[in-house]
Amino acid sequence: MRAMNSTILAATSRREFLKTTTKLAAASALAGAALPAVHAAGSDLIQVALIGCGGRGSGAAANALSVRNGPTKLVAMADVFENRLQGSFGNLKRQFADKMDVPQERQFVGFDAYKKAMDCLKPGDIAIFATPPAFRWVHFTYAIQKGLNVFMEKPVTVDGPTSKRMLKLAEDATAKNLKVGVGLMSRHSRALQELAKRIQDGEVGDIILMRGYRMHAPGGSFQSHAKPAGANELHYQIQRFHSFIWASGGNFSDFYIHVIDHLCWMKNAWPTKAQALGGRHYRHSRDGQLYVDQNFDVYAVEYTFEDGSKFNFDGRCMTGCKDIYSSYVHGTKGLAIASKNSDCGQPSSIYKGQNPMRSNMLWESKAPRGEEDPYQNEWNDLLDAIRNDKPYNEVKRGVETSLVTSMGRMAAHTGQEIRYEDMLECEHEMAPTVDQLTDSSPAPLQADANGKYPIPMPGITTKREY
């Protein structure tokens, strides 16, 4: 099976886990090949439902409708917020009018809208999950019941209990021969694919250090003021999901996962532990209002791999500071730049020595024509797997990446050294009733009388993040 049973994960040493993963993946590929193909019934057309109509969801839908290896059509949309659905619908309609068939009766709003949208699909069609990750396991459970292929955005989990749940669901999806893509698009960057092969073939020697940075001004809903008077608390937290760890893993998980993912890929290993620093600085806006979100302004994480090598990640969301958004691999023979800028910014390159001067360059990537965009590549690859019945399930790796990201976050938030198993076995499920939420439900996080939410307190709150 592609995803290991959670009890095996808990009992197996990290070394045994890494050795076993490849064997299980190979066995899964053989098992999946023997299962009946799951395609859209009776037609080459693959229908798509968009669940979560924010910017990333709209982008994923646009990529789905741009695939050229067969017809796709958007037939249903769902979101908790009507205005978000309508904005997405209008933008997509302007670009893809001939590939959309989403009348008003297939536009669904509310916490149960995801079921209604998936009910519009046939087995073998595709559901896109682009809601905050807290809802990922809920939506994935229903998709598997319906026999649907899935594309889900990252992160796929934010805590230990839901990670175990998603690992089991990954097994269930493979057993039904469903194809599942996860929005870690760096893995579909042709530049990074070539770099990973070169690094693992030894072109930079043994990896001794990796560095990743994402430091820029606040973005998304990183910072939030107190909830406006009269606003629905649950709606407020979902709208401001980057501000709340239960909904998104905070900015650490949502912003930093890509760099963490592709550098671990370069190493071809997951770190065994993390220690970290982090803090909040001046937490008032220019008009004097207090920010009430749960995020730290800065994070500095040292990940350690089983062989003792290190991966340092620095994150910062502050205005007026130097922006750095790139990633590096240092080896005994030389240096590689993985992402020149942003999450997977091309070109990637390799240098002799440790100084990335042009005169030291040994190789620079050049993506094949038409494959420059990793966001489109991941959809091309998913649809190719669906139409040609290739084994394809990225969920297990998505959970592992999410866990490694979360263990760095938890190390900063608790002030403790956090091992992979600590994160997986942490019993703090941040939103245990997320599958039961309605408009009148209390939010998973409650503010105090001053409208402030619990924040991480390293060294004080050490067994959970808040």
Identify the H or E element spanning 239: helix 233-239
The reply to whether CATH 3.10.290.10 applies to domain 6-186+375-392 is no
Q: Residue 43 has what pLDDT?
A: 65
State phi, psi for 225 to the nearest 5 degrees.
-80, 170
Residue 353: strand pairing partners: 334
User: What are the strands, taking DSSP E only, across 382-465?
Assistant: 418-419
Compute, in degrees rounded to 10, the torsion defined by CA atoms 91, 95, 101, 104: 20
> Which strands make up the sheet holding 46-51, listed edge to edge?
107-109, 72-79, 46-51, 126-129, 149-152, 180-182
Q: Rounded CA gap, 384 and 395, in Å? A: 17
Q: Rounded CA gap, 215 and 317, in Å? A: 6
Give the pTM: 0.90
Closest CA to 149 of 131, 171, 119, 124: 124
User: What are the strands, taking DSSP E only, across 40-160?
Assistant: 46-51, 72-79, 107-109, 126-129, 149-152
Cβ contacts of 260 within 8 Å, gap of 6 or more: 212, 303, 313, 401, 404, 405, 408
Q: Residue 284 has what pLDDT?
A: 76
Q: Which amino acid is at 120?
A: C
Q: Rounded CA gap, 150 and 179, in Å? A: 7
Q: Residue 450 has what pLDDT?
A: 85
Cβ contacts of 125 within 8 Å, gap of 6 or more: 40, 46, 47, 48, 49, 148, 149
Measure Cα distances from 101 to 61, 89, 283 in Å: 13, 11, 46
Q: Residue 242 has what pLDDT?
A: 98
- 188-371+404-436 CATH: 3.30.360.10
Q: Which two tokens stand for residue 46?
A: 């693959």
Q: Which two tokens stand for residue 244?
A: 């709340």
Identify the H or E element spanning 279: strand 273-279
pLDDT tens sequence across 60-76: 999 999 999 999 999 99
Q: Where are the domains of the chain?
A: 6-186+375-392, 188-371+404-436
Q: Residue 273 has what pLDDT?
A: 98
Identify the H or E element spanning 401: helix 395-414
137: phi > 0 → left, psi -120 to 50 → alpha, else beta; which? alpha
- The residue whose two tokens read 């990954």 is 170
At residue 392's C-alpha, the angle toward residues 386 and 394, to 5°, is 130
Antiparallel, parallel or unpaired: β 334-339 and 324-331: antiparallel
431: phi > 0 → left, psi -120 to 50 → alpha, else beta; which? beta
Average pLDDT along the chain, 466 residues, taken 10 residues at a time: 36 40 38 47 83 97 96 98 98 98 98 98 98 98 98 98 98 98 98 98 98 97 94 98 98 98 98 97 80 97 98 97 98 98 96 97 96 98 97 98 98 98 97 97 94 96 97
Q: Which two tokens stand for residue 19?
A: 């050795």
- Per DSSP, the residues of 343-355 read SSPSPPEEEEBS-
Q: Residue 22 has what pLDDT?
A: 39
Q: Residue 281 has what pLDDT?
A: 92
Q: Residue 287 has what pLDDT?
A: 76
Q: Residue 74 has what pLDDT?
A: 98
